Structure 1
Amino acid sequence: MTGARDTNDEGVVGGVHPAGAGWVVSARGELDQDTLGPLEEALASAAARHPVVVLDASAITFGDSSFLNLLLRLHHSTTLRIASPGEQLRRLFALTGADSVLSLHPSVEAAVAAS
């Protein structure tokens, strides 16, 4: 059908913008090894240029082990703060123990303001 758009055309990166001393990267949808590339590029680019990177996870509906691996790798290379993780991500972080390693915050504002 001509002119039809797949709902995934916009990709998993919802937007990026400065916030305080850091940079906010918003992600959305399902994040797995097949969809993770654009988010990995956005986060790596932000980490190379900014001392703090905030991942707005409020619109992420699913994250698998590839996504978790990306977050843990990024955590070692920059100050990564994860804002507004939904129930599935909170469960993933709790089951793997990542919630004791990653910096989780209830909102983007709280993540930006954290010290």
Structure 2
Amino acid sequence: MSGDEAVTRRPRSVGDSRPQVLDETTVVQYERCGAWVVSARGPFDMSTVTPLADALDTAAKEHPKVVLDASGITFADSALLNLLILTHQAADFRLAAPAQQLKRLLQLTAVDTVLKIRETVDEAAAC
């Protein structure tokens, strides 16, 4: 695994008798059209958000424009929502291609009126 990629595994709940299937989250980072892109995949909640939080925090400190490619986020809760708001406050931050569940969360909380949300990474990076 390279230094630019982190994988987190969330353990199954105590007493869960189902076969263990680990939800994996991945965070990959790269440069695109002068913006630093953080690409997230998987479910993000309080137990899995730390690698993404670390990546976005570092990106906000080191790059003038930060894009989160949210197309692969399969679940989001208030932990991710809080992270998006904090990143927005710390950097020129854009959210690209959020999946339907995340779009709905952003609408219900009116965070979609605060964040710069674009349909693609290229639009968010302004290529």
TM-score by length of 1: 0.88
Matches within 5 A, 1:8-87: 8=24, 11-13=25-27, 15-87=28-100
Q: Which has the higher helix share?
A: 1
Mapped contact 1:44–1:74 kept (Cα < 8 A): yes
Gaps of 5+ in 1: none
Greater Rg, structure 1 or structure 2? 2
Mapped contact 1:57–1:83 kept (Cα < 8 A): yes
Aligned residues: CA RMSD: 1.5
Q: How far apart, CA to CA, are the structure 1 residues paired with 2:33 and 2:40? A: 19
Mapped contact 2:74–2:99 kept (Cα < 8 A): yes
Q: How far apart, CA to CA, are the structure 1 residues paired with 2:95 and 2:62? A: 18
Mapped contact 2:40–2:69 kept (Cα < 8 A): yes
Mapped contact 1:30–1:62 kept (Cα < 8 A): yes
2:67 counterpart letter in structure 1: V
Runs of 4+ that moved beyond 6 A: none
How many aligned residue pairs are there? 107
Gaps of 5+ in 2: 1-20
Q: Which has the higher strand share?
A: 2
